[in-house]
Amino acid sequence: MAKDRPVYMGPRLRRLRRELGLTQADMANDLEISASYVALLERNQRPLTADMLLRLARTYKLDMAEVAGDGGAEQTARLQAVLKDPMFADIDLPQLATGDVAVNYPGITEALLRLYTSYREEHLALADRGAEAEPQEDGADPVAEARRFIAARRNSFPLLDDAAEKLAAEAEAEGGLSGWLKARHNLRVRRLPSDVMAGSMRRLDRHRDAVLLDDALDGASSAFQLALQIAYLEMRKGFDTLLKDGQFASESGRRLARRALAGYGAAAILMPYTAFAKAVEARRYDVEALARQFGVSFEQAAHRLTTLQKPGQERVPFFFLRVDPAGNVSKRLDGAGFPFARHGGSCPLWSVHRVFETPREVVTQWLELPDGQRFFSIARTVTAGGGSWGAAKVERAIALCCAADHAHRLVYSQDAPPPTPTPIGVTCRLCHRSQCMARSAPPIGRDMLPDDYRRTRAPFGFADG
């Protein structure tokens, strides 16, 4: 059996001592060791033994988990992911050394992560400016503000999940959402023709004590609109509490974030966290089966899968993308560390752009990014609108992806070993694959090769190095 790696946590021990207001001599006296030994521990010149960990916990009445921590696992993973960027390829960065930095110097690690995040944001913004006819400052973009708010919290809001579970139980006791609205708020549910609704899917009519629904809505959409109304009626305080932590440059950004929280609450009412988290494991993340079980649409079930990161009840982290036939991104949710292009222009080799050729068929694909990260993707078309003859329909495609390491937990990957993954990029302007035949633009910061004597097969020739 391999021996456990020695635990060095000097900087953490030093912070603990200072937080307790102790000198090295004080701590040495409390722990019945020499002051010089404390100094050696704090300088990582001696490992912290299990006996010393126990002694620290007992002496200062600390939780063992608090003393030992998680080994900086999350910070280490994030730092290692950052250091896979191709610009660090020529630097020798041992994984053990990376872990030591993350564990012993969490402040420096966080600073580096923030710096890299800012760099990536600027890099993406530069790519966006090259792709947009009329560039817009991100700070003035309410959609970008709302997306940042959601992404910063990994699209997980346990406060709303807990409230929704209670509301779902109450609704079940009242015979459904309509019964709950009548019992709690004396609101009837009425369905009216689309021309009477005048462009609205749902409207709260306080004068007639009614929730009005467009009768063109299908069952899943009707249920979602009722759950959405319940969320607005019952979760206002929760929305306000969560939004206080956000930073918004515009009122529109705040309103869009609030709208996203309401949608989250509605989905959590229809798919209560505990029941849904149990079902996804039983059904191996079969989105269609989950949609039938909970009476929701394929897109609603896929969207809900991105929210299952409640501490202690985490499931597979997914990221979610919705695009139209022109490639415009109308929704994106990140829970798996995928570096999205913030607007349009994602990789044309990704199957999400090809599923319009096979409507409503789930298409699977293994993906590999330039830095070596691998993902497993499922994609399918979804339809919005319609409901009657002549009513406009909108076709979109959604992709649900997870890290390749989690793919074995999904029904879609069963009985098939991972084939050679499709090499993709975030967007052409950030992708440095020199042999890509699908490229629509050269990468930022690379010199084009002269065309006088040689024409490359790829649309834009540039040096590999």
Q: How far apart are CA 220 and CA 383, in angstroms?
A: 12
* 160-173: average pLDDT: 97
- Could you please state the CATH topology (level 3) that the domain comprising 136-270 is classified under: Arc Repressor Mutant, subunit A (1.10.10)
State the Cα angle at 85 between 83 and 435, rounded to 5°: 155
* 139-158: average pLDDT: 84
Question: What letter would DSSP give residue 461?
Answer: -
Q: How far apart are CA 382 and CA 71, in angstroms?
A: 43
Helices (H), 32-72: 35-42, 50-59, 64-68
Rg (CA), the chain: 26
Tell me how crowded residue 251 is: count the other CB atoms within 10 A of its CB.
9
User: What is the pTM assigned to this prediction?
Assistant: 0.71
| % of the chain residues with pLDDT over 70 | 88
* 242-259: average pLDDT: 92
Q: What is the pLDDT of residue 67?
A: 60
The residue written with tokens 């993340």 in the block is: 285
Q: How far apart are CA 224 and CA 221, in angstroms?
A: 5
Does 196 have pLDDT greater than 60? yes
Does 3 have pLDDT greater than 70? no
SS3 210: strand
Express each pLDDT in 297-347 by its tens digit. 999 999 999 999 998 899 999 989 999 998 888 888 876 566 666 555 578
Q: What is the pLDDT of residue 138?
A: 46
Does 68 have pLDDT greater than 80? no
Distances in whole angstroms, Cα of residue 1 to Cα of each of 4, 451 = 9, 59
In this prediction, residue 69 has a pLDDT band, given cuts at 50, 70 and 90, of low
Which CATH architecture does the domain made up of 10-106 adopt?
Orthogonal Bundle (1.10)
In this prediction, residue 133 has a pLDDT band, given cuts at 50, 70 and 90, of very low
Q: What is the pLDDT of residue 341?
A: 60
> Would you kindly state where each structural domain of the chain is located, as residue ranges?
10-106, 136-270
Does 79 have pLDDT greater than 90? no
Q: What is the pLDDT of residue 337?
A: 61
In 3D space, the residue among 1, 77, 71, 158 whose CA is nearest the CA of residue 405 turns out to be 77
Instruction: Answer whether 79's CB lies under 8 Å from 101's CB.
Output: yes
Q: What is the pLDDT of residue 139?
A: 47
